[in-house]
Amino acid sequence: MIKRFIINYVKSFKSSYYVYAGILIGFIIWMLFIDTHSWNIHSELNQEIERLEQEKKALKLIMSSDKKTIKQLQNIDSLERFARENYGHKKENETIFIIETGELEKISQ
């Protein structure tokens, strides 16, 4: 009788062990792949954070160069030079000829 009790106890312990192991494996799978806080989503978010930080650095460089340009354009002479070079502005009674380098290469050949 005691032997039968021990055998039943061991069988029930084994079956409960499988239940607990199944629950644990299910929980791990849920947390790694299915949940909204899963490992996959965290890795995607970390990649996006890195990309945005690189973009932020690039934009800071652009902002610093723009600030430098704005500081240089406070002088009227440099402002006029900038407008002539980039936007083709001209003085009164002045004609500007724009020669592109690609056209020069075609003519010389």
- In this predicted model, which residue has the larger pLDDT, 93 or 15? 93
Predicted confidence (pLDDT) at residue 107 exceeds the cutoff of 80: no
Rounded to 5°, angle at Cα 54 from 49 and 58: 145
The answer to the question of residue 109 being in a domain is: no
Identify whether residues 41 and 85 lie together within a single domain. Answer: yes
- In this predicted model, which residue has the larger pLDDT, 53 or 12? 53
pLDDT tens digit string along 90-106? 778 877 777 777 755 66
> Burial code of 94-104, b = ≥16 C-beta within 10 A, e = fewer?
eeeeeeeeeee
The answer to the question of residue 76 being in a domain is: yes
pLDDT tens digit string along 36-65? 777 888 889 999 999 999 999 999 999 999
Residues 89 and 83: beta-carbon distance below 8 Å: yes
> Burial code of 72-92, b = ≥16 C-beta within 10 A, e = fewer?
eeeeeeeeeeeeeeeeeeeee
Instruction: Check residue 82 and give its pLDDT.
Output: 85
Instruction: Check residue 109 and give its pLDDT.
Output: 57
Identify whether residues 31 and 73 lie together within a single domain. Answer: no
pTM of the entire predicted model: 0.51
The values of phi and psi at residue 74, to 5°, are -70, -25
Identify whether residues 10 and 31 lie together within a single domain. Answer: yes
The answer to the question of residue 99 being in a domain is: no
The answer to the question of residue 98 being in a domain is: no
At 77, is the pLDDT very low, low, confident or very high (cuts 50, 70, 90)? Answer: confident
Instruction: Check residue 1 and give its pLDDT.
Output: 67
Print the domain residue range for 80. 37-91
The answer to the question of residue 100 being in a domain is: no
